[in-house]
Amino acid sequence: TTSGIPYNIINLAHGRAHNHGWTNGDSILADSGTEQLEFIALSQRTGDPKYQQKAENVIRQLQKIYPSDGLLPIYINPHSGTASYSKITFGAMGDSFYEYLLKVWIQGNKTESVKHY
């Protein structure tokens, strides 16, 4: 997307991506976390670093948009990168993102991109 925040549903066969309709087109924070793991694994399996680089760019973009304390909203507009709803939670749709960060750090060879969190 133009903001660097990914869509959460990606159809690789057709090259299309979108978000769930019930989110009004917003990206879900926890889904963005699991995509990090999937794209790092894809780079490791294909030997092509571009997928991991794309995943790490998402984390960098989140740091740029929300630099202060590492707490992120659960709904993010994929076009502007801004919070669509100000709710920050360690509950549903948010907690998994923070759990995935540790896994991303381990799986991604302990790169600096997630150190902020």
For the chain, the 3-state helix, strand and coil shares in percent, each to the nearest 5, are: 45, 10, 45
Q: pTM for this structure?
A: 0.77
| Domain assignment of residue 115, yes or no | no
In a domain, 3, yes or no: no
The whole-number pLDDT of residue 97 equals 86
**Average pLDDT of the segment spanning 9-37:** 90
Instruction: Using DSSP, state whether 50 is helix, strand or coil.
Output: helix
In a domain, 117, yes or no: no
18 in a structural domain: yes
Which tens digit of pLDDT belongs to each residue from 45-82?
999 999 988 888 888 888 888 867 778 899 999 999 88
Q: What is the pLDDT of residue 22?
A: 95
Could you give the CA distance from residue 18 to residue 115 in angstroms, rounded to a whole number? 29
How far apart (Å, rounded) are the C-alpha atoms in residues 108 and 40? 6
- Structural domain that includes position 67: 9-110
Structural domains of the chain, count: 1
Look at residue 4 and tell me if it is in a domain.
Answer: no
